[in-house]
Amino acid sequence: MNAVVLLSGGLDSYTAGAVARAEGYELYALTIRYGQLHARELDAARGVARALGVILQRELHVDLAAFGGSSLLGDGEIPRDRLLDEASGIPSTYVPARNTVFLSLALAWAEVVSARAIVIGVNALDYSGYPDCRPEYLAAFERLAALATRAGVEGRPLSVFAPLLHLSKAEIIQRGVALGLDYGLTHSCYQPGTDGRPCRQCDSCRLRARGFREAGVMDPIEARATS
């Protein structure tokens, strides 16, 4: 039973992939580069793909930066705090239609390898401000996929498997530790230093640190840095 997993190199998608593997899926890892400020994530994604024992990994570049619209896509500083747009409550790091683009590309590959699922590491708690991290959004994508594809037409609909959807960061980490994952392979920082070390100040670093703290687990990246 094949699944395409959207693998970023961060700890959420690694954990989601591992949960899918534990449930019996054979994994095809899709890593999408969309104009991030740094390439450290790609290295992490390759390491994570190896650790997950995926059948194939593909890296695809999609220049979402050509459209602008997010602080994650520009040349500017990533805001230290998750600044919210006052009107909508949507963070400035929100990338327009990001998950729709990612799921669509995964869908294209899923059709070719006859996958029964797309695995995505979104969670609705930490990313509550992102419209495309909500359960009702994922359900709508599943309905779209059933109409969009050959498999759907033939009565083999594809599911969106988002095992972290209702977990906190701490719960995600506990789940991964129970599965024996090495989070030292992962990368979360939006703005790593030139030596590749996490900044410990950006939103993503702080969410990660809080998650490990609340999980009662030492972050292997921190363990390594202090040893």
How far lies 31's CA from each of 83, 161, 173, in Å? 27, 17, 21
What is the pattern of x (binds its own copies, CB under 8 A) and - over residues 68-107? xx---------------x-xx-x---xxxxxxxx-xxx-x
Shortest Cβ 42–its own copies spacing (Å): 15
Output 44 or 145, the one with its CB closest to its own copies.
145
Q: To the nearest 5 percent, what fractions of the chain are helix, strand and coil?
A: 45, 10, 45
Answer for which of 150, 166, 200, 224 binds its own copies (CB under 8 A) is: 150
Answer for which of 22, 50, 61, 218 binds its own copies (CB under 8 A) is: 61
Neighbours of 171 (CB within 10 A): 17
Shortest Cβ 155–its own copies spacing (Å): 10
Pairing of strands 26-33, 117-119: unpaired
CA torsion, ordered 101, 115, 168, 190, to nearest 10 deg: -40
Is the distance from CB of 21 to CB of 48 less than 8 angstroms? no
Output 8 or 70, the one with its CB closest to its own copies.
70
Pick the stretch among 15-23, 64-72, 190-198, 208-216 that binds its own copies (CB under 8 A).
64-72
- Rounded Cα gap, residues 96 and 72, in angstroms: 10
Binding site for its own copies (CB under 8 A): 58, 60-64, 66-69, 85, 87-88, 90, 94-101, 103-105, 107-112, 131-132, 134, 136-137, 140-141, 143-145, 147-150, 152-154
